[in-house]
Amino acid sequence: MFCSKCGKPVNQTSVFCPHCGNKVPTSVTPSTPPVQSPPSPAPVSPPTAVTQLHPHFSWKIGVTIGVAVLVIAGVMLGLILGLSGGRNVEGIYVWKDTSTFMGVKSDLVETLILKPNGVQTLKSNNGRDDDGTYTGKDNKVEAVWKANVGKMKFTIVDGNLVDEQSEVWTRQ
């Protein structure tokens, strides 16, 4: 008879296998050795994830960094939009005088150029050119010239500027 565990021969009167110590059943077993299955391979541990975070990195740090980035982006956007009151007023605006005085039609054309950072230039075909500054807030624009013209206030209507005399400066 053979041991059911190690497959080595065991005396029929033995209670335990003398080779491995396995308890031998009391029933008679055939005198051929048992067929042993091939040894099972050693268990394979799962691969370690490459994306594991550093042991000292906490999810709280990640959330804090994310919030900080959003706050900084919001402040920057607020500053950018704050320069023009939330509207993009920068551009070129043209006003043409279409009036007639004593039978003579006016040919005056003025161009107002609103540049970034509040700088503006007024160009006129009558030589009244001037530079200055402007501010934009809540659909209002105020332009201040250094010399000739002085100060003008505009309202933004359909993307154009309308001055205090209701004259439309068309955005180009």
Question: What distance, in Å, lies between the first and last C-alpha atoms of the chain?
Answer: 106
The pair of structure tokens assigned to 97 is: 């005088």
**90 in Cβ contact with 84 (< 8 Å):** yes
Q: pLDDT tens across 70-109, in order?
A: 888 877 766 555 444 445 678 888 888 877 778 888 788 8
The pair of structure tokens assigned to 54 is: 């550093």
**22 in Cβ contact with 16 (< 8 Å):** yes
**CA torsion angle for 18, 22, 24, 30 (degrees, to 10)?**
-80
What is residue 36's predicted lDDT score, i.e. its pLDDT?
63
Of residues 51 and 115, more confidently modeled? 115
Q: Which of 32, 6, 38 is nearest to 20 (CA)?
A: 6
Q: pLDDT tens across 114-145, in order?
A: 887 777 888 888 777 778 777 777 678 888 77
The pair of structure tokens assigned to 5 is: 């565990």
What is residue 84's predicted lDDT score, i.e. its pLDDT?
41
21: left (phi over 0), alpha (psi -120 to 50) or beta: left
- Strand, coil or helix: what is 122? strand
**Distance from C-alpha of 55 to C-alpha of 53, rounded to nearest angstrom:** 6
**Distance from C-alpha of 148 to C-alpha of 144, rounded to nearest angstrom:** 10
- Residue 12: pLDDT band (50, 70, 90) is confident
Of residues 135 and 20, more confidently modeled? 20
**CA torsion angle for 136, 137, 139, 144 (degrees, to 10)?**
-40
Q: Measuring CA to CA, how many Å separate 127 from each of 110, 111, 148?
A: 10, 12, 11
Q: Measuring CA to CA, how many Å separate 142 from each of 7, 19, 93?
A: 103, 104, 14
What is residue 46's predicted lDDT score, i.e. its pLDDT?
64
Average per-residue pLDDT in the chain? Answer: 75
What is residue 151's predicted lDDT score, i.e. its pLDDT?
78
**Distance from C-alpha of 168 to C-alpha of 159, rounded to nearest angstrom:** 10
pTM: 0.44
